[in-house]
Structure 1
Amino acid sequence: MIKHKSGSLTFYIPDATAQSRAHFFDAGISAGFPSPAEDFKEERLSLDETLVKNKEATFYARVSGQSMIGAGLDDNDLLVIDRSLEPANNKIAVCFLDGEFTVKRLRVEKEEVWLQPENPNYPIIKITEDNNFLIWGIVTNVIKKV
């Protein structure tokens, strides 16, 4: 279900009632040399149980744009955002800034806050008292299509 669409993010609420589980092969799939397939066991895996620590405070949002490609957040990636986590320097956060949602790295020094993009083609944003600014949540995971 779509919660909110902004210029750069589309928010979704996780369905806490869904009991969807995928097959999970606990084999440690090799990224080097192949290993024998007989050593694996199959179980059921819930991505919500794996990626979501606080269901009531967790949302998903789809990225739109290229400002965070250096942090591995690409256009159309799905972010897992936890609103219960404390903002801190160097965390990637979803922020509400002057009427729009954006995702950026937080830079906090003394009493000053900057929103740092991870693409040199985008400017660093210094937050001032003139801004309508709220740190909405902290990004905990990113889900990509390959």
Structure 2
Amino acid sequence: MKVIPIYARAGITGFESPAAEYLQQSLQLDEILIEHPSATLIVQAEGDSMQGVGIFDGDILVVDRDLTVKNHDIVVAYFNGEFVCKILDLKNRRLLSANEDNKPVSITCNEMFTVEGVVSKSIRCHYPSKFFG
């Protein structure tokens, strides 16, 4: 993919074409989005529980399994038989939503729980993708 970097200035000083002095750079989208290819999952978000942090229904999430999980990271986890995207509260052993309509969920020793990875990036699709229904 060729990228033409165009920079917008705060003030307009003339009518020169933005492409007048462009530079083409070789760029691969996966190089920008994926830091650890062998440890990365691509998943699709479902629901409205993470809207407060900018993750909406249908967004594509880049999940990095190689990152060390820290308190309040956004993670994809396997919780009692389903995959969820939540904020992980390590100190209080809870899963938090970013939507005030959803209450925190405690992670007890009776729960099936594993962190699949940290959400490193999210992508919003404005046109339906053939990969995700």
Same fold (TM over 0.5): yes
1:121 to 80, 101, 106: 101
Q: Could you say which residue in structure 2 is the equivalent of 1:24?
A: 3
Q: CA RMSD in A?
A: 1.8
| Partner Cα distance (1:75, 1:32) in 2 | 34
Give the number of the structure whose alpha-carbon radius of gyration is greater: 2
Alignment match, 1:98:
80
* Residue pairs, 1:1-146, within 5 angstroms: 22-28=1-7, 30=8, 36-37=17-18, 38-109=20-91, 112-146=92-126
Structure 2: which amino acid aligns with 1:122?
N
Per-residue CA shift, 1:111-139, capped at 9, x if unaligned?
Answer: x3111100011121110001000011000
Segments of 4+ in structure 1 off by > 3 A? Answer: 31-36
Q: Distance in 1 between matches of 2:11 and 2:41?
A: 37
Helix, strand or coil: the match of 2:90?
strand
Over 3 Å counting, the alpha-carbon distance change for 1:144 and 1:26 in structure 2 is: same
Q: Deviations over 1:48-71 (max 9, x none)?
A: 111111110011001110000000
Task: Specify the SS of the correspondent of 1:95.
Answer: strand
Please, which runs of 5 or more residues in structure 1 have no aligned partner? 1-21
Identical residues among aligned pairs (%): 29
Equivalent residue, structure 2, for 1:12? none
Q: Which amino acid aligns with 1:145?
A: C
Q: How big is the shift at 1:85? A: 0.9
Q: Secondary structure at the match of 1:81?
A: strand
Going by fraction, where is strand more abundant, 1 or 2? 1
Q: Alpha-carbon deviations, 1:4-59, whole Å to 9, x = none?
A: xxxxxxxxxxxxxxxxxx2211223x385668412431222211111111110011
- Mark the runs of 5 or more structure 2 residues left unpaired by the alignment: 127-133
| Amino acid aligned to 1:105 | I
Equivalenced residues, count:
122
* Aligned-partner SS, 1:101: strand
